[in-house]
Structure 1
Amino acid sequence: MEFEFIGIDDLIDKLERTGHQVEQGKDEAVLEGAKVMQKATKERVPKLTRNLEMHVEISDVKDGEAEVYVEQQGKAYYGYFHEVGTSKMRARPFMGPAFNASKMKIERAIADKIRQRLMV
Structure 2
Amino acid sequence: MPVDIKFEGMDELLRKVEELGKKGSRIENTALKTAGEYLAEEMKKEAPVRTGELRDSIKASNAKTKQGQKYVEVGPDETTNWRAKFIEFGTVKMKANPFMSRAYEKNKDKIQEIIAQKLKEGLGL
Which structure's residues are more often strand, by fraction? Answer: 2
- TM-score, normalising length from structure 2? 0.74
Structure with larger Rg: 1
User: What is the CA–CA distance in structure 2 between the aligned matches of 1:34 and 1:113, rounded to whole Å?
Assistant: 12
Q: What secondary structure sits across from 1:95 in the alignment?
A: helix
1:69 is displaced (CA, Å) by 1.4
Which of 30, 38, 52 is the equivalent residue of 1:36?
38
Q: How big is each residue's C-alpha offset from its partner over 1:2-60, in whole Å with a ceiling of 9 and x where there is no partner? A: xxxxxxxxxxxxxx999314333111111111111101101100012111110002122
Runs of 4+ that moved beyond 6 A: none
Which of 99, 107, 113 is the equivalent residue of 1:94?
99
Counting matched residue pairs gives 104
Q: What secondary structure sits across from 2:59 in the alignment?
A: strand
The one-letter amino acid of 1:53's match is R
Residue 71 (structure 1) aligns with: 77
| Aligned-residue RMSD, C-alpha | 2.3
User: What is the CA–CA distance in structure 2 between the aligned matches of 1:84 and 1:19, rounded to whole Å?
Assistant: 42
- List alignment gaps of at least 5 residues for structure 1: 1-15
- TM-score, normalising length from structure 1? 0.77
The one-letter amino acid of 1:60's match is N
1:103 is displaced (CA, Å) by 0.5
